[in-house]
Amino acid sequence: MIPLSAYTAVSAVLFMTGLLGVLVRRNFIIVLMSVEIMMNAANINLVAFSHYLESMAGQLVALFIIAIAAGEAAVGLAIIIVVFRGKISTNVDEMNLLKW
């Protein structure tokens, strides 16, 4: 029997990886992928707690998170296409369209 803390440890390491990706990478698409990694870490936590505390609510929230990740990916990639069409690179440091 695997203890619950093992799942939370895996989830914490994955979340750290995603957070580092958001902070460190300069390509906007990779930043979005790192957000997906963080969402997956949260999903592991939710499903593990749902299993060990014998409640179904965690799996439902994980389902809603997957749906929200789909919406986030669609809108984020549309924004990337718009930015790239304006001949601006996808480097997050060089995007300053809305800067006053």
- Residues in contact with other proteins by CB under 8 A are 1-2, 4-10, 12-21, 23-27, 29-30, 32-34, 36-37, 40, 43-44, 47-57, 59-60, 62-64, 66-75, 77-82, 84, 90-91, 93
Q: Which is nearer to other proteins, 56 or 98 (CB)?
A: 56
Q: Which is nearer to other proteins, 51 or 97 (CB)?
A: 51
CB of 99 to other proteins, least distance (A): 18
Report CA 80 to chain centroid distance, whole Å. 16
CB of 46 to other proteins, least distance (A): 9
Distance CA 96, CA 41 (A): 31
Distance CA 52, CA 72 (A): 30
Q: Which of 81, 88, 92 is nearest to 27 (CA)?
A: 92
22 phi/psi in degrees, rounded to 5:
-65, -40
